[in-house]
Amino acid sequence: MIDRLPVTLAFKALLADLTGFPVGVRTVPLDEATGLPVPPPYTVLDPLDHPDDDGTLADTGSAAISGYQATFVSGPVPGVPDSRGGDDQSQLLADRGRRVVERPTDGSTGYTHPLTLPDGIDCWHREAREAGGTSEANDAIITSVIRYRLFLAEDATA
Q: What is the tens place of the pLDDT at every residue in 43-92?
A: 999 999 887 765 655 566 678 899 999 999 988 777 777 777 777 888 89
Residues 46 and 26: beta-carbon distance below 8 Å: yes
Minimal CA–CA distance to 75: which of 59, 94, 88, 61? 88
Evaluate if residue 129 carries a pLDDT over 80: yes
At 15, the pLDDT band (50, 70, 90 cuts) reads very high
Q: Higher pLDDT residue, 62 or 6?
A: 6
Per-residue pLDDT at 125 exceeds 80 = yes
Query: What average pLDDT does the segment 133-138 reach?
Result: 65
